Chains A and B, each alone.
Chain A
Amino acid sequence: MASVTGASITMTPLSGSFKANSSRVSGLNSVSLSAHAICFPSLKMRPGPYRFQVSCAAKPETVEKVCQIVKKQLALPDDSAVSGESKFAALGADSLDTVEIVMGLEEEFGISVEEESAQTIATVQDAADLIEKLIEKKDG
């Protein structure tokens, strides 16, 4: 008859995984938050891959107009940093904002954006490129 008096169970916490979390990501170990701003070491934003075949990138004026429409929709101040690389999600756009932005672009440029194309727009540059492609098709 087995006796288990005095037996103890050793719990092995998986503490390794906690430590690994913080050491795997360099630069984020010493993040500190002040009451006024969350300061993170800046990570370089890599532009997303272009999703369409375009013969050349959109004109700067088109990108600029898209930036203005986006700033207006998201109620961002005029001097906020919005450029071709900016991702809508990172600017705080939700699905309703994205749909409104697309409608705003359609009105501004006199184009019609199909649902499928609208889904592929992730950055300001994506939107500008799509707009120019649609204008080209329209003027044909």
Chain B
Amino acid sequence: MKIRCFQRNFSAASSLLVPVQLPSRMETHFWYVLPDEVKSSSLLNQYLELLSPCEKESVTRMQGHQLKKKALLARALVRTTIARYQINCQVNPRSLKFKKNIYGKPEIEWDNDENWCPPPLHFNISHTPSLIACGVTVDVPIGIDVEEKQRKIKNNVLAFARRYFTPEEVNFLNAISDLEVQRQEFIKLWTLKEAYVKAIGKGFSAAPFKTFTIQSRPAKHSDPKATEIVVESFDDPTTNFASNWQFTLLELAGSHYAAICRERGKNIEGKECVPMRLMVRKTIPFVEDECVSGADAVVTIGSLIDQC
């Protein structure tokens, strides 16, 4: 029997990664790291050791210490997060390989082995100067986007929206008289749209923002105030997109908006709107993990979520 595992004593580091069960098909896992909490240079060195030569080169090309650090943390977060799921046996975060789909979306490249069926694990990352996140699902694609709540838009928000968003979305923003609220709603809408194009695997370049509308509407749910976020695509009006993609919007750590978009599992039956089951963990890989689901650090805004 060929055992695709690695001896535990090659590196003490990976044994400090607390293993986690794979999410169920209905669940989404969301991990994030705050770069400002990572100060130790020996820890950064540990992270550096996890990267492939290609990733190290990409990190080097970033200009300036801060950008290099964030690029490094992003790769380290992805590798350590996936390794936690210990599919089959201990997985070394350093041995993971990645490939890109035709639009450039990163995916895991599992070793081709007849005796072993790789898990249908999907992931997506997003980074901002002060927070880096990684979302994980099983069986269905996921896209996430995170933005700082305070992010200033240099251009006029409505001019920007008219240029890049759909008429419905422009109307929504135009109806907001308070400029600060308008800016916040713009950022939220941007993160939702980014999360969607990343979930469908195409990214901003291949799925122009003008080709789909995202809006909030009342949800079919026992709670009359419940709303859900839905997408309507003009590219393919025959497909009932609204039911395929599930969105959620969070306010993280009081400082960021995070949008998560995932495909609904194929077996979801029933007319009632099903909340997204979500587990949120703040982490410093190899150092500590903190489950923040349901705590003040995670506030859901828009769409139903069942935090677990």
Question: Which residues in A have some Cβ–Cβ distance to B below 8 Å?
Answer: 9, 11, 13-15, 17-18, 21, 24-25, 28, 31-38, 40, 42-43, 45, 72-73, 80-81, 86-87, 90-92, 94-96, 99-100, 103-104, 115, 119
Contacts and interface: CB of A to CB of B under 8 A. Distances in A.
Contacts of A14: 6, 95
Contacts of B295: none
Interface centre among A15, A35, A38 (most CB of B within 10 A): A38
B10 A13 contact: yes
Contact of B65 (A24, A37, A72): A37
Contact of A96 (B70, B147, B203, B208): B147
Nearest to B208: A115
A33 B154 contact: no
A31 to B, nearest CB: 6
A103 B6 contact: no
Contacts of A100: 153-155, 160
Contact of A38 (B65, B153, B190, B204): B65
Contacts of A81: 63
19 contacts: A9-B3, A11-B3, A11-B5, A11-B7, A13-B6, A13-B10, A18-B95, A28-B56, A37-B65, A40-B56, A43-B57, A43-B60, A90-B62, A91-B67, A92-B62, A92-B70, A96-B190, A96-B194, A103-B159
A11 B4 CA distance: 9
B48 A90 contact: no
B53 interface: yes
B116 to A, nearest CB: 14
Interface stretch (B38-46, B76-84, B230-238, B244-252): B38-46
B7 A13 contact: yes
A13 B151 CA distance: 47
A38 B10 contact: no
B63 A33 contact: no
Nearest to A28: B56
Contacts of B48: 31, 33
B164 A9 contact: no
**8 closest cross-chain pairs (CB), A and B:** A25-B53, A33-B41, A95-B204, A40-B60, A119-B205, A38-B68, A35-B41, A13-B7
Contacts of B10: 13, 15, 18
B41 A40 contact: no
Contact of A25 (B41, B56, B147): B56
Contacts of B129: 92
Contacts of A40: 56, 59-60, 68
Given A18-B94, A40-B60, A104 B69 contact: no
Given A18-B95, A21-B52, 18 more contacts: A9-B3, A11-B3, A13-B10, A15-B10, A17-B95, A25-B56, A33-B41, A33-B45, A35-B40, A38-B65, A43-B60, A92-B67, A92-B129, A94-B127, A95-B194, A95-B204, A99-B164, A103-B155
A80 B67 CA distance: 13
Contact of B44 (A38, A91, A96): A38
B163 interface: yes
Contact of B63 (A73, A90, A96, A115): A90
Given A33-B41, A92-B67, A103 B61 contact: no
Contacts of B3: 9, 11
A73 B160 CA distance: 14
Contact of A103 (B44, B69, B160, B208): B160
Contacts of A119: 205
Interface string B154-195: 110001100110000000000000000000000000100010
A34 B163 contact: no
Contacts of B67: 90-92
B258 to A, nearest CB: 14
Contacts of A24: 53
A14 B199 CA distance: 34
